[in-house]
Amino acid sequence: MTGIEMLMTAVASLQRDDLERWIANQWVRPDGQPGEYVFREIDVARVTLILELRDELHIDEEMLPVVLSLMDQVYDLRRRLRRLDDAIATIAPENVRRELVAYIADPSP
């Protein structure tokens, strides 16, 4: 976990007013309260992502909520699929796992 000053130092192109706006918009959700924010690794990654979307991909700030929401949905889906895969690997008998693999590999509807 890191404080706001350490985050500002670690992410060179980050501007404090941008970060505060992103927190107000709930694009970044640190623990704590204004003046005492604590940023977890996930918050640092989110800040870096927002900067990349804005500065490298030139996504304007009006579109960022849409892009971030879609990306959050993709990450959530990936997490759920990983859990499903773990459950199948743990619970399903070998013959069921083989049938699932064959079914998924078959491109016909």
Q: pLDDT tens digit string along 29-55? A: 999 988 889 999 999 999 999 999 999
If one counts the domains in the chain, the total is: 2
- The verdict on 33 and 7 lying in the same domain is yes
CA dihedral 36, 18, 70, 2 (to 10 degrees): -30
Name the pTM for this structure.
0.78
Residue 68 lies in domain = 64-105
Which residues, in sequence order, are CB contacts of 89 under 8 Å at separation 6+? 97
Kindly tell me if the per-residue pLDDT of 109 is higher than 70: no
User: What local confidence, expressed as pLDDT, does residue 66 receive?
Assistant: 96
User: What local confidence, expressed as pLDDT, does residue 34 receive?
Assistant: 86
Residue closest to 67 by CA, chosen among 47, 48, 42, 49: 49
User: What local confidence, expressed as pLDDT, does residue 29 receive?
Assistant: 95
More confident residue, 108 or 21: 21
- The verdict on 50 and 9 lying in the same domain is yes
